Amino acid sequence: MPRTLMLLGGARHQVPAIEEAKRLGYRTVLCDYLPDNPGQFVADVFYQESTTDRAKMLDVARREKIDGILSFGSDAALPSAGYVAEALGLPTNPLASINTLSEKYLFRPYLAKNGFNCPKAVSFPTEKNGRSVLELCRGMRFPVILKPTDSSGSKGVTVVPVPDAASFDAAITAATEFSRNGILLCEEYLERGYPHVIGGDIFVIDGRVRFWGLMDAVRDESLGGLVPVGEAFPSGLPVDKAGLLKSEVQGLVTSLDLRFGEMNLEVIIGRDGKPYIIELGGRAGGNMLPLQLQDVSGVNLTQASVRCAMGDFDCAVDFDPAAGTGDAVATLVLHAKRSGSFAGVHVDPALERYVYRTQVFVHEDDRVEEFVNGSKALGILFLRFPSADVMRELLAESSHLVSVEVR
């Protein structure tokens, strides 16, 4: 009988992991609470269950006699996957470390306590009002950012520019909408010394970062600049700053005893020249990031994630390009600037000539929402440019060169 891999989440971006598992000859068991998830039509067995219900996930795992478990591209299900794996003696990173990475109210104090660069931050329950949070933030440098501690894709994130109780009340309301655990975080806004947030994925095997997929995050400033609308490779980060970043990230991987897997990264180089790790998610990045990095490197990261989850760590994932080298490849997230009915996508010919793959997730007349967080993405454009300079010049104008038509 084939060995069995249990996968938590069958959304569109998670289907490639199910497909890779089947190509490798594994039997696949999928859990997802949504009745219309596309993964159920690919997996061998499907349970309509909440992936955040640890006890239920363990029950399914025992019933199906699984050999490995994977939460591919899902923050919410990571603790469940770690819990099940530890209970059954399956390959996993330490559950305590998974929890630390998954909850910002644990992550920020961990960074500070263990000597990593970290902005001044404070966590508090959603029941707090603006006036009391303002008091908690006394001594912080404004602006500050207020966010949920257990969400991704910039959901519920607000920049509070001045110490004003009413502004905090509005930010608390926005963050509470996306908070499952009822704990919010307020931290100092980091002024960037390098103009782009560094995003991308890394891959760890035997506790060492073997794959460095560092990219410049593309932001749409007309939408506030908080939500990434693309990733550009190679990053323009200078060699010395890249070295500091890699040292900080490897140090955190070692400190948390992270043994294997694809991990999503977000780092800001501050005005002081230091790298600040804003996120180290214990799963593959969204917006088809593993596919983009496979196009760049030739490394099938999705397959490597599946193999590692099944205890096969003999994966050729090594990739550490010299700064500024390699193909100039980028993605742009298709997004609507207002809500309405989807009427199509317009790409200016100056940019269209470099598009080599297009994924559109909606159909004409489908209801679409204003792009306020990553869950509102409507599709992905993949672009390959003749040089990094051409890429950066066009991406700087991307908000004018790509538009989603809404009526």
221 and 301 assigned to the same domain:
yes
Which residue, of 188, 213, 242, is where some domain finishes? 188
Rounded to the nearest integer, the mean pLDDT of the chain is 95
Q: Both 232 and 297 in a single domain?
A: yes
CA distance 47 to 59: 11
Same domain membership, residue 226 and residue 250: yes
User: Cα dihedral sign for 387, 331, 381, 297?
Assistant: positive
Hey, is 36 helix, strand or coil?
Answer: coil
Q: What is the pLDDT of residue 324?
A: 55
Say if residue 301 is in the same domain as residue 195. yes
332-352 residue pLDDT tens: 999 999 999 999 999 999 999
CATH number at residue 179: 3.30.1490.20
**Minimum mean pLDDT among 189-203, 228-242, 368-382: which range?**
368-382
Among residues 396, 400, 397, 405, the alpha carbon closest in space to that of 378 is found at: 405
- Find the mean pLDDT for residues 238-245: 96
pLDDT digit string (tens) for 119-156? 999 999 999 999 999 999 999 999 999 999 988 777 89
3-state class (DSSP) for residue 384: strand
- Unique residue bearing structure tokens 């390009």: 321
Task: Give the three-state DSSP class for 247.
Answer: helix
The number of folded domains in the chain is 4
Domain annotation covers residue 107: no
What does 286-323 look like in DSSP terms, one character per residue? STTHHHHHHHHH---HHHHHHHHHTT-------B-PPT
Could you tell me if residue 113 is inside a domain? no
Whether 340 and 371 map to the same domain: the answer is yes
Judge contact between 67 and 310, C-beta under 8 A: yes
Q: Are residues 343 and 284 in the same domain?
A: no
Does residue 138 fall inside a structural domain? yes
Q: Is residue 101 part of a domain?
A: no
pLDDT tens across 75-95, in order? 899 999 999 999 999 999 999
Both 130 and 19 in one domain: the answer is no
Looking at the fold, whether 213 and 276 belong to one and the same domain comes out as: yes
Q: Domain range spanning residue 28?
A: 4-92
Q: Are residues 238 and 320 in the same domain?
A: yes
Residues 145 and 251 grouped into a single domain:
no
Same domain as 296, residue 198: yes
Q: State the pLDDT confidence band at 289, using cuts at 50, 70 and 90.
A: very high
Distances (CA, A) of 73 to 15, 93, 146, 170, 392: 10, 16, 24, 30, 27
Asked whether residue 106 is domain-assigned, the answer is no
